[in-house]
Structures are given as C-alpha cells and as structure tokens.
Amino acid sequence: MKFKGRIFVLSMVLLTNCLYIAYYYMKDGHIERIEIIGLPLILLIAWWSGKQYDKVKHLEDINLKKKKELHNSNQMFRTLFENAPIGISLIDQDGRPVLTNKKLQEILGYNEDELNAMTFSEFSDPDDSAINMDLLKDLLDGKIDHYELEKRYYHKDGHVVWGIVTSALYPDIDNETTYVIGMLVDITERKIAEQKLKEAYKEKESLSNRDGLTGIANRRYFDEYLVQEFEKARKTASPLSLIIIDIDYFKQYNDCYGHLKGDECLKQVANVFEKTIDQSKGVAARFGGEEFVILLPKIDTLGASVIANQIQGAIENLRISHIGSEISEYLTVSLGLSTFNMESTSLTPEDLISEADQALYLAKQSSRNRIEIYH
C-alpha cells in the first residue's frame, strides 16, 4: 500500500494527542493553546516521517521483487540449461567452457570436468576454430552482438561431429564478469545424409557419362569435353589432338563369332584405351558402334602419333582371333589423327572431328590396320 507508513504514523500521532489532550482536560478542566497549535506541526512532522518510511519500504519492495525475478530467471535458465535438447556452454574470454550442459557432454563425449580443463580449439577442426576465434574476438569487442557458424568438432572417440554454433554475450551479474553463451545444434546426421546424396549424385552423373557396354566415356560426354578443351586450346594457343579408331572388319567379326563375342571384343579394346592413356593425358570415348575416339589436350601431332602406335600395338598383342578379317588372323584397328594448333585457328570442334574422320577413311581405303595423319 503506497501510503501505509504515512497513514500509520498520522493515526498513531492523532490517537496519542487525543488521549493526551483528553487526559489533561479531565485533570485540569481546560486545554492549553500550545497543545492546540502544536498538533498540526506534529502531524506535519509525522506525515514527513511516514513518507520517508514509505519511500524506503517502496525501494525495499522493488529490490525484493527484482531479486525474486532474478531468482526465477536463474531457475528458469538452469532448468532450460540442464534439459535443453541442444548443447549449451558458458565460455570465458579464452574460449574455455566454464559450464556445460549434459547434452553438450553427450554430443562431444567428454564429461564436464574434462571439458572445463580444455579450450574448444583443442577438439575443433583447426580451420573452423580459427574462424570461430576471430568471431569471438569481434563479439567481445562489441563489433557484433552474436554470430552463427557451421563448425566441425572431434568427438572423444575421434569421429567428426558437425554442428551449428550460435554465440552471444551472457553477463554474469553476481561475478561481474562477461561470459559467452554458446549453443550447439548437432547436424552430423544431416551432413552425412548430404554427403551420401552428393556421392550418389556424382555416381549417377558419372554413370550418365559412361558407355553402358564398355565403361569408358560415352558420346555425350565426349562432345561436351571436346568443346571445353577446344576453347582452352584456342585461348592458350596449345595443341589439341584427336584420334578416331575403327575396328577392322567388325561386322564380319560379329557374323563369325556372334554379338556376345562382339560385345566382349569391344570391352577388351576399350580396356586397352584406358590402360594406354590416363586421365591426365586425355579421355577415351565410344563414338558409336565399333568406332572410338581419343582426345589428347596439350599433345601435338608427334605425341599423338606415339600414343596411336602404342594403341595399335597393344590391340594386336591381345591376339583376338578374327577369321573374318581380310588382312590378319587377329583383330586389328585403323586410326585417323588430326591436331588443332596455332596455324589452324579457324577450325571448329566439328572440323577437328571431320579431319580425323578423313584420315581414318584414308587408312581404311589404303590397307587398314594403319595410322593416317590429316595434312
């Protein structure tokens, strides 16, 4: 009650004075003038005294209310802290956890004493930790009021824990020290799922670029790769060579041995390409039917000729019987080669294919089982 002290004091003064006046009136039969004049002054003093009491009482009530609110707030924080479904910690200015909840201990695999004896940098990915410490410094310097970071931690047993960390300042009134409160949401399962999805997508993309029979690159991938490498060669003025390979008398091979044997033959030939050239040199692809192409970035005509000879010799060494061939008892190939260089800057990717195809046609018209270079 706002006027409780004043009302109480006035009531007591009035009551006391009334009793005092009544007593002396009954005793002496009259009332002194000073007693009548002094009553208002005493009441005024009593009113002022009661007002001061009310002020003190009001301040005490406010402080008591604040203490109760603070206590309730601390109790609520403690309840939320202990039972939160996310990891929470209070961190000092050196990045050391001074208080951690059970969920954080569960996420990281350490108990509270172990965590209190370390800094977060000790069980965090070094790159992520460096970013985190920079943000922590900005937070403590007042440049930002909070920050959020996707971060990797190392569990006590060694596996990586992914988390989203949100940090903000948390003033401790009792100790007059500023801490940072960090909240960690475990997203490890989501990250694993994302990684599996990426791997599945890459595998699917890889399969979509592969020939279903031979396993080497297909025509679609080759066309895209050719355009990319052609532009690179034009910009850097570097050579780009193309070899087109055709299996000699392959129709007769299928007629003699059947299509299943023919498919097996194509696989063996494609395997030779994979072994002869590596990805750093170029790419081999099935162009269609029994035709294959090999694109060789940064390799000139001479270098491409060496590779063409290696391929021709490796296929002969397979010793695949071919009774339908008119030039050999074993399987052979014809090869046409063309090179894009600085002297042929007006060429297009289609021109490069056309030139190699013309060279191949010449090889097949001549005697087959040979290499022809477009001039």
Angle at 270 between CA 264 and CA 271, to 5 degrees: 90
Copy the structure tokens of residue 374.
């477009």
Beta strand pairing status for 240-247 and 291-297?
antiparallel
- DSSP at 321: B
Angle at 369 between CA 364 and CA 372, to 5 degrees: 60
Find, among 291, 201, 292, the residue nearest to 283 by Cα. 292
Task: Please give the single-letter amino acid code of residue 326.
Answer: E
Strand runs labelled E in 101-209: 146-154, 160-172, 177-186
d(CA 21, CA 34): 11
DSSP state of 279: T
Q: How far apart are CA 332 and CA 313, in angstroms?
A: 9
Say how far apart CA 289 and CA 311 lie, in whole Å. 18
From 32, 189, 203, 290, the catalytic residue: 290
Residue 344 in tokens: 């042929």
Sign of dihedral through CA atoms 29, 33, 34, 36?
Answer: positive
Task: Give yes or no for a contact between 188 and 161, defined as CB atoms under 8 angstroms apart.
Answer: yes
Q: Is 203 known to be catalytic? A: no
Going from the C-alpha of 179 to that of each of 34, 182, 185, 324, 363, the distances in angstroms are 66, 10, 20, 86, 80
Catalytic (active-site) positions: 290
